[in-house]
Amino acid sequence: MQLHWDIFCRVIDNYGDIGVCWRLARQLTNEHGKKVRLWLDDLNSLKPFCPAIDVLLANQTCLSIEIRHWTENAAVDRVAEVIIEAFACELPPLYLQEMAQVSPKPCWVNLEYLTAEAWAESCHGMASPHPSLPLVKHFFFPGFSAASGGLLRESALLDKRDAETAHYASDDALEVSLFCYETAPVSELLDVLAESSTAVRLHVAPGQPTTAVMAHLGGSGPWEYGKLSIRPFDFLSQDDFDRLLWRCDINFIRGEDSFVRAQWAGKPFIWQIYRQEDAAHLIKLTAFLEHYATGLSPAARDISVDLHKAWNSGGSLRQAWGTFLQARPEISEHSAQWARQLANNPDLANALVKFCVIKV
């Protein structure tokens, strides 16, 4: 039955890694009845998602998920039937030794970062024998097609979204959310939005986005700047952040977790991808846009690509934003259709459960 699952997560930067792992742990617990133990090297990173935890405790339970503080000398009292090594974080040597001793051998999966690059689908499910231990690791790639591992999506998520948004009141203001890295051209965006012909409400995430706004406008907000009303918000739970994305007309998002959730929102979005050396991130951005833009008219496709490029690597943000607004009706319909199309693929948690049953 593969009842017991261990998820190992190292927090590299920001909240992306733990955000994905926490969503996965919750879904495995709530929808698949798994006993999940989350090994985490930085408990402070989980605190905003699960305020009830005590960051000083090495072992505790929150929302039926066991949480272990992953330290160099953490004791290994048992090995799970399924081990998820999130984002190539490398399992502890002591845990690996224990894995090699149990029979039958556990299912060991390296959950990779999300990419739309073609090579990922060819590597999805690939086996990698350990060089010295009788263990085999399999690579599991999230993705945007049925040939991949899919995307995290809770049961009936889109139905829940549609039922909730049907009751939202609307006015003439354009609702925009902003969640970005420190390298985003936030000052230019604020100036452009302030000169809009209609009112704009900008919902700004805590941390780097709010810091960027404060640097440009001074003070701590909220701010009124031309046609722009800027509303900073405190850290939201994952479910509440989803609701913010559902409510907004356009979402500026970053990384992986919010990137996926913006797609489930079915609204136009602008993705700031995590910057990598040698501009490798731009290759990933281009690969995704080639998938996402299929179905748009040639003009709207170019407009969407231009705004993503301006946001990620410079260019005329003012011009790109202006043309994006003109094409927004078509891009809005396409974004809604894109979410429905993605929902035809298996969700990642369900695909992962089925994958592990087969591989043991």
The region that residue 112 occupies, defined by phi over 0 for left and psi between -120 and 50 for alpha, beta otherwise, is beta
Burial 34-49 (b: 16+ CB within 10 A, else e): bebbbbbbbbebbebb
Task: Extract the tokens encoding 312.
Answer: 């990620």
CA-CA distances (angstroms) from residue 145 to 118, 236, 288? 11, 30, 12
Question: What is the distance of C-alpha 99 from the center of its chain?
Answer: 30
Helical (H) or strand (E) element with 238: helix 238-247
Annotated catalytic residue: which of 6, 85, 175, 256? 256
Strand arrangement, sheet containing 250-254: 223-225, 228-232, 200-204, 174-178, 250-254, 269-272
Closest CA to 3 of 356, 359, 328: 356
Active site residue 256: yes
The DSSP bridge partners found for residue 35 are 4
Asked if residue 108 lies in contact with residue 137, where contact means CB atoms within 8 angstroms, the answer is: yes
In a 13 Å sphere around the CA of 31, the CA atoms on its Cβ side amount to 19
Annotated catalytic residue: which of 17, 81, 242, 330? 17
Helix, coil or strand: residue 236: coil
The DSSP bridge partners found for residue 7 are 38, 84
Active site residue 306: no
What amino acid is encoded at 72 in this protein?
E
One DSSP character per residue, 304-324 reads: HHHHHHHHHH-S-HHHHHHHH
Asked if residue 140 lies in contact with residue 150, where contact means CB atoms within 8 angstroms, the answer is: no
The region that residue 227 occupies, defined by phi over 0 for left and psi between -120 and 50 for alpha, beta otherwise, is alpha
The DSSP bridge partners found for residue 68 are 39, 59
Active site residues: 17, 256
